[in-house]
Amino acid sequence: MNQTVIDTHHISKTFNPDTIPVYAIQQVHLHIERGEFTALVGPSGSGKTTLLNMIGGLDKPDEGNIIINGTDITKLRASALIAFRLHHIGFVFQSYNLIPVLTAKENVELIMLLQGKRKKERDETAARLFEQIGMAEKMDSRPARLSGGQQQRVAVARALASHPEFILADEPTANLDSKSTANLLDMMEQLNREANMTFLFSTHDQRVIERARRVITLVDGKIASDTAFVNPDNG
């Protein structure tokens, strides 16, 4: 039986309510089940990033509820929400957001350090993740010595290090060339297929959209269409 990991109940978000209101998200009701590989698409200003930020607990809706694996994150206090994000949600951003003075391994281990994991577990998890992303020989390199594609792979490894319920990826291929994009998407698809990791993308990139098995189109803050595709690996 599939398990719902993201469940938004009629969420809305308005910016500048006291002047000229901008309705970023309007009454969005959305279910994402474990193991999905889903893309949020739509024109600039359609609400993709706002919706992703609310699902990730980086912003709060003005109305409605967001249930993550049974927990209503809209009811959590700020400190509890920070702790929940740390243990349950993985983030991959367009700009990588790696800390330049840390090595690739230290960037990946940082989230486990914040979680209170012991050094042995951090070392073992990091080694396993760098094998998964095909960068075992780059663990001691700092971000400046890595290509954009390699930095984004490290960002994915960092997101996975917390053992999240799902990964939110906001325009993760925007700064990558075609080869780096293909390699990154191959790796994400493999993680999705072999580890049943759930991915939710916000993207304009047709290369990402073509890989998605579900495409949700936002227009003016509302879901205009929601289309699921058959996974060719499963027939």
Pairing of strands 198-202, 222-228: unpaired
Distance of CA 20 to the CA centre of its chain: 31
**Tokens 């060339």 appear where?**
177
The residue with tokens 């599939």 is 2
Question: Element (H or E) spanning 112, and its range?
Answer: helix 104-114
Per-residue pLDDT averaged across 84-90, rounded? Answer: 94
- Of 80, 132, 56, 144, nearest in space to 107 by CA: 144
Q: What percent of the chain has pLDDT over 90?
A: 83
**Percentage above 70 pLDDT, the chain:** 97
Contacts of 221 (CB under 8 A, 6+ apart): 12, 13, 23, 24, 25, 26, 28, 46, 47, 50
Contacts of 194 (CB under 8 A, 6+ apart): none
The residue-averaged pLDDT of 189-202 equals 94
- Report CA 229 to chain centroid distance, whole Å: 20
Average pLDDT, the chain: 92
- pLDDT tier at 61, thresholds 50, 70, 90: very high
pLDDT tens track for 105-161: 999 999 999 999 999 999 999 999 999 888 999 999 999 999 999 999 999 999 999
CA distances from 56 to 61, 80, 86, 113, 230 (A): 11, 13, 10, 21, 27
* Domains, the chain, with CATH or none: 35-60+77-216 (3.40.50.300)
- Rounded Cα–Cα distance for residues 62 and 113 (Å): 33
Chain segment 17-44, per-residue pLDDT in tens: 778 888 999 999 999 999 999 999 999 8
Query: Tell me, what's the pLDDT at 235?
Result: 41
pLDDT tens figures, 91-110 = 998 888 899 999 999 999 99
How far apart, in whole angstroms, are the C-alpha atoms of residue 67 and residue 9? 8
Give the C-alpha separation, 198 to 55, whole Å: 13
Give the whole-angstrom CA distance, residue 48 versus residue 54.
10
In sequence order, what E strands does 34-185 have?
A: 37-41, 63-68, 71-72, 89-93, 166-170
